[in-house]
Amino acid sequence: MYPIKRLFVLLFALSIVSLLPNTASAVSISASPRSASVGQPVRISVQSSYSSTVPSCFMQINYGDGSGWTNVPPACSTPPCTNTTTHAYATPGTYTIQARLNPANDPDCGLFLLPPATASTSVTISNQDITLTDGVVGMKYEYELGNRSNRYRKIGGTLDRGLKIVRNTLTGLPVREGKYRFQVSSTDPGGTTINTWYNLKITRALLTVTTSPNKITLDRNRAGSFRLTYSFKSSEELNDTLSSGQGIFSAGSRRLGTVNKNIFTRMTKGAAQVSEQVTIPLNVIQTAQRMGIDKISYQRTFSAEYMDAATTSSLAVTVGTGFTFTNIRITFLDNTSKKFVKRNEKIAGAKVELRYEGAGLLKGYWQVDDRILARVTKNLPFSSGRTITLRLPATPLLPTHSIGSHRLRFVITNPPMRIPFPQVIYVVTGEDLATVHPIYLIGPVGGATVVEKEISFLWKYRHDVALYQLEIFQGKGKKQKTVFSAFSKKTTYTIPKPVRLKKLEPGKIYSWRITGLDQ
* 328 & 307 share domain: no
Q: What is the pLDDT of residues 464-491, one digit of tens each?
A: 888 888 888 888 877 788 888 888 889 9
pLDDT at 412: 95
Which of 431, 456, 487 lies at the terminal end of a domain, its last residue? 431
Instruction: Assign 11 a pLDDT band (cuts: 50, 70, 90).
Output: very low
CB-based contacts of 209: which residues, under 8 Å, 6+ apart?
Answer: 230, 231, 232, 233, 302, 311, 312, 313
- What CATH number has the domain bearing residue 411? 2.60.40
Which DSSP category does 268 fall into? B
* 35 & 119 share domain: yes
Q: What is the pLDDT of residues 277-334, one digit of tens each?
A: 988 888 888 787 777 676 788 888 888 888 755 566 666 666 655 678 999 999 999 9
How many distinct structural domains can be found in the chain?
5
Which of 203, 219, 247 lies at the terminal end of a domain, its last residue? 203
- What CATH number has the domain bearing residue 167? 2.60.40.10
* 220 & 237 share domain: yes
- Higher-confidence residue of 129 and 153: namely 153
* 198 & 215 share domain: no
- Higher-confidence residue of 214 and 88: namely 88
Distance (Å, whole) CA 500 – CA 273: 33
Phi and psi of 65, rounded to 5°? -115, 20
Assigned domain for 211 exists:
yes
Assigned domain for 38 exists:
yes
Residue 452 has pLDDT above 70, yes or no: no
Residue 409 has pLDDT above 90, yes or no: yes
pLDDT at 448: 74
* 388 & 286 share domain: no
Distance (Å, whole) CA 146 – CA 154: 14
Q: What is the pLDDT of residues 429-439, one digit of tens each?
A: 865 444 556 78
pLDDT at 19: 32
Assigned domain for 401 exists:
yes
Assigned domain for 48 exists:
yes
Q: Report the largest interatomic distance among the alpha carbons of the chain, rounded to a whole angstrom.
A: 104
* 383 & 335 share domain: yes
Assigned domain for 303 exists:
yes
CB atoms within 10 A of CB 495: 20
pLDDT at 22: 39
* 40 & 120 share domain: yes
Assigned domain for 383 exists:
yes
Assigned domain for 313 exists:
yes
Which of 319, 342, 376 lies at the terminal end of a domain, its last residue? 319
* 247 & 282 share domain: yes
CA distances from 209 to 60, 238, 249, 312 (A): 55, 15, 18, 8
* 479 & 502 share domain: yes
* 373 & 420 share domain: yes
Contact call for residues 441 and 418 (beta carbons, < 8 A): no
* 328 & 400 share domain: yes
Distance (Å, whole) CA 264 – CA 106: 66
* 46 & 112 share domain: yes
* Strand, helix or coil for residue 241: strand
Residue 21 has pLDDT above 60, yes or no: no
Q: What is the pLDDT of residues 357-393, one digit of tens each?
A: 776 789 999 999 989 999 999 988 767 678 999 999 9
Give me the long-range contacts of 281-285 (CB less than 8 A, separation at least 24). Answer: 281/223, 281/257, 282/221, 282/222, 282/223, 283/257, 284/249, 284/256, 284/257, 285/218, 285/220, 285/223, 285/224, 285/319
pLDDT at 313: 64
Burial class for 309, CB neighbours closer than 10 Å (0-12, 13-18, 19+):
exposed
243: containing domain: 207-319
pLDDT at 470: 87
Mean pLDDT score across all residues of the chain: 84
Least confident piece of the model among 71-85, 143-157, 388-402, 460-474: 460-474
Assigned domain for 194 exists:
yes
Phi-psi map region of 360: left, alpha, beta (phi>0 left; psi -120 to 50 alpha): left
Q: What residues pair up with 98 in beta bridges, in sequence order?
A: 62, 120
